[in-house]
Structure 1
Amino acid sequence: MSKKSSSAPGDLHGEVSLRYLGDLEISEEATVAELKSQAMTLFSSSGFVIPSPAFLRAWTVERKRLGRLLRINRQQLRDYKLGRKTEICLEPLQEEENLGPQDVVLRTRMRLPGERAYAPCVDLVWDTARGWTAGSLRQRVAHFCSLPVEKIEIAKYFPEKFEWLPISSWNQQFTKRKKKKKQDNLQGAPYYLKDGDTIGIKNVLLEDDGDFSTDADDLGRGTPRRPSSQDALRERSRDLGCGATTPGRPRAPEASLSIHVRSFR
């Protein structure tokens, strides 16, 4: 099996900036850990220092975007059905990582209040043992950010559409147990949550509108940005602070109206 190895994490808009490292010939019987071990030789020739294979994540690359995460180090490559010329992205990590079968890796980005922008992404590992529910994810994100769960809003980013979809708690929306069990799963529609997805986080103590988009998203969609209520408030405050007043429109002089009525008798 031939593997093209590259290295780079994904950006906000989904495409990855890849650095070509080289080709690997490896058996389908090999494990993910063995793939990482062999790839370390490519890193050494490119100037990267990787202490051990545990400091690497391995992803498939699909259309210049991160695809599936090869999460289990002891699992054989043939179990992933990769094909003969699969491109693999090897992501260097700051610390060792040993993911379990129910761990999901998400890219979290904290919203910068009033700027329509985000802080750099920080990886979050979410244990889905208790289910892929909105409530479970919100609890994990709140703990990760050291914020009360009721003081955050989260949304998944869809880079191909330049859109953010807020993730609400379905427990409040569905009362029937059967329907709730069917719908309260972030793996299904409309979220289709998976490894590598970007999750935007908003601290409602600092910003409580529903806008998760950035100016770049507006450009990507080809739609003008809609001014928010906060924008209008800031504009009004700016006008008041400068003592600006809006001049009234001059009133036109009144004109007399003459009506001529004919007699049809």
Structure 2
Amino acid sequence: MQRTLKELSLKDGDSLLVLEPQSLNSSVFTLNEDIVTVTTPSDCRWLQVEYQPPGGGGAEKQEKMRIRVPASGNMLLGEVKQRAVEELRLQEQPPDSQFCLRQVDCSGKLLPPVCEELSVRDAGVRLMTTLTLCPGNAPKASQLFLHFSVGSAPPAGVEMDIIMEETCTVKECLHSILDLVKLDGTCWHLRRLDWCEDVGEPLMDEDASLSELKISNGETLIVTEGLLPPKGFLKLSVWLHVDQSNSTEDFMHADNGHAQEDMLETVGETGHPPSLNVGNMVKLRSIGQVEISDEASLEDLKTQMLTLSALQDVCVPTAAFVRVWLLEGQKLVRILRGKHHTLRKLKLSTGTDLCVQQLVKDEDLGPKEVLLYIKMGVPGERCYYPPEELIWDASHDSCPRSLRAAVAALYGLSPDSLLLAKQQLEKWSWEEISNWNQQVSKKKRKKKTESLLGAPFYLKDGDTIGVKNLLIDSNRVFSTPDDEEGQRKLKDQAEQQRKGRQVSGPDGVGPLGKNGTTKSRKPEVALSINASNILGVGFATRQVGNVTKPTVAISKDGDKVVVKTMSTFRNTEISAKMGEEFDETTPDDRHVKSTFSMEGDKLVQVQKWNDKETKFVREIKDGKMVMTLTFEGVTAVRTYEKA
């Protein structure tokens, strides 16, 4: 008892066993000098194996067969499988029949097969749990069990499995997959799923091994059509921004401002390529791809775009008369700035979608010049005139007063007579922009800046600003009949979602995505914290948090990251731009400064408060989302699984 923790060679993550003195007299614990041996009781030394016999000839599904196999921590899983096969009398199956053991997560999904060369303990299999006996081979210790899908990520694409050596290269893995699905040709490459389970970056180094790229067991790869560009080159998809502002359609009957930015297939009678409609004023049409070095400048990119056959009839004096948008999730999200900036500095990657727009005058936007669409309300009516472009310079002043002055100059009106609001497309609502009072922090006595580029408005390129001229329009309500109809549909959708959760249980149904499909929830599994009072959160708060089962939904909205946490204890939502610091109030009411960033495929969030720092790292491992929290040398890990 007098030795220090260092002398005992204790380190982070070690487990401690605390026993009462009388426990050493039992048959479970034995003491030999300073070593305590824990003996598993005989009635706990077993594993349950279940097997679903295949149905045949249209017969009804047979009941699962379950047996208990005597097991210990040192027993090889291969022996467990062999005993299960014998007791289930499956050795009478055809000679080429192979079986493997797989664990099942809390949602009932099969996990990758366990390695039969490992012991029960080394494989992380707990005694008195259930393994499923499935058709197929088990990977060896030097192999990886991988899921793959052709063309798109699950559930849109059909998911299949393959076993590969850790030392095989990306090219060898691709060829094996193509042979398995009987695909010909060399115009294919592999991509991996990113942290939000969308199709991510391609595996550029085809000569690298799977282990070098840190591809783990149970990971999903996507087989994508198209050749990889040469190293250092990018392949970018280009869309044309077609101006339809001269349309004869009466604005009074137009869609009052809600831009429908969904991909619309127009191939058919017209024979045109797929196009994307943004409201009634803009149409985007796919015009091809460009391959260009990531060291090329934005001006070089514009010049190369103009060489595409679809742009041969577009007359522009110089590349400065072209505006290039970044497309994400089928939306115009950001204008690329800085004609001398390299594509690498602009953070473009292979597969990025870009939109090219012809301008009537040259343009070279600064880093804090924002393109906004301004819509003036029709006096006495619940609709708007067609939008006008406004380039707002927020480099010197980004407060509401500056924006109001810019809008007033656009229309030749007095700033005091204008009422402004930002359109929230996804919510079918408008958020009024007013001159709020500056707040003073009691701790540091610093004035908080009232920037429209930050919370709560986050103005960015392409946002729509509604304007009311109070001199001739007494109606201060920005919403339109279309907004009311959209909000009604959102309420109906939320009600259907709530009813679906009641039928499926608390962990059965996730939130609806933008395309109306249901996203899988990630129910919580065990949380292990190796600290007595981490982050200074009170004991009662931690106890309440431990019994909740939060659902975490992470998504990208343009250049913003949205993290929603929903539980019976408390619901929170964080929305912030990548790389920009923002104010956050944590569930335990701490006021912190937070920043989001990407480290490879990992989403990193850093919170700073009272000269302290907390780091959250979220990543996808073995089909699960793993969140690692680090604070003052203490690490906590929480794992979420798909329902």
| TM value normalised by structure 2 | 0.33
Which residue pairs with 1:36 in the alignment? 302
* 1:138-182, Cα deviation, whole Å (9 max, x unpaired): 111111211001001111111111111111012xx3364888842
| Aligned match for 2:428, one of 157, 162, 177 | 162
Counterpart of 1:2? 235
Q: CA deviation at 1:91?
A: 1.4
Q: CA deviation at 1:46?
A: 6.1
Matched, 1:66 2:311: no
2:258 maps to which residue? 13
Aligned partners of 2:284, 2:409: CA distance in 1, in Å? Answer: 32
- After TM superposition, the structure 1 = structure 2 runs for residues 1-265 of structure 1, keeping only pairs within 5 Å, are 1-8=234-241, 12-14=257-259, 15=261, 16=278, 17-42=283-308, 45=311, 47-170=313-436, 173-174=437-438, 176=440, 181-222=447-488
Measure the CA separation in 2 of the matches of 1:58 and 1:52: 14
- Please report the RMSD computed on the Cα atoms of aligned residues, expressed in angstroms: 2.3
- Unpaired segments ≥5 residues, structure 2: 1-233, 244-254, 262-277, 490-643
Shift, 1:48, TM fit: 2.9
Aligned twin of 2:197: none
**Distance of aligned partners of 1:50 and 1:202 in 2 relative to their CA distance in 1, 3 Å threshold:** same
Identity %: 40
Contact 1:21-1:46 within 8 A present in 2 as well: no
1:115 to 1:80, Cα distance in 2 relative to 1, 3 A = same
**How far did residue 208 of structure 1 move?**
2.5
3-state SS of 2:293 partner? coil
Q: Distance in 2 between matches of 1:125 and 1:45?
A: 26
> What is the identity, as a one-letter code, of the residue corresponding to 2:258?
H
Higher helix share: 1
Q: Secondary structure at the match of 1:101?
A: coil
- For 1:8, the aligned partner's letter is H
Q: Relative contact order (alpha carbons < 8 A, sep ≥ 6): 1 or 2 greater?
A: 1
| Over 6 Å off, 4+ runs | 177-180
User: Can you give the 5+ residue segments of structure 1 that lack an aligned partner in the other structure?
Assistant: 224-265
In structure 2, the residue matched to 1:263 is none
Q: Find the aligned partners of 1:9 and 1:221 in 2 and give their Cα distance.
A: 30
Change in Cα spacing, 1:54 to 1:179, as seen in structure 2 (3 Å) is farther
Q: 1:73 to 1:165 in 2, by over 3 A?
A: same
CA, structure 1 residues 138+45, in 2 after alignment: closer, same or farther (shift >3 Å)? closer
Deviation at 1:9, TM superposition (A): 7.1
Q: For the Cα contact (< 8 Å) 1:102–1:128, is it kept in 2?
A: yes
Q: Deviations over 1:12-33 (max 9, x none)?
A: 3242332111100011111111
Q: 1:66 to 1:151 in 2, by over 3 A?
A: same
Q: State the 1:196 CA deviation.
A: 1.4
Q: Return the alpha-carbon distance in structure 2 between the equivalents of residues 9 and 103 of structure 1.
A: 23
User: Is the partner of 2:306 in helix, strand or coil?
Assistant: helix
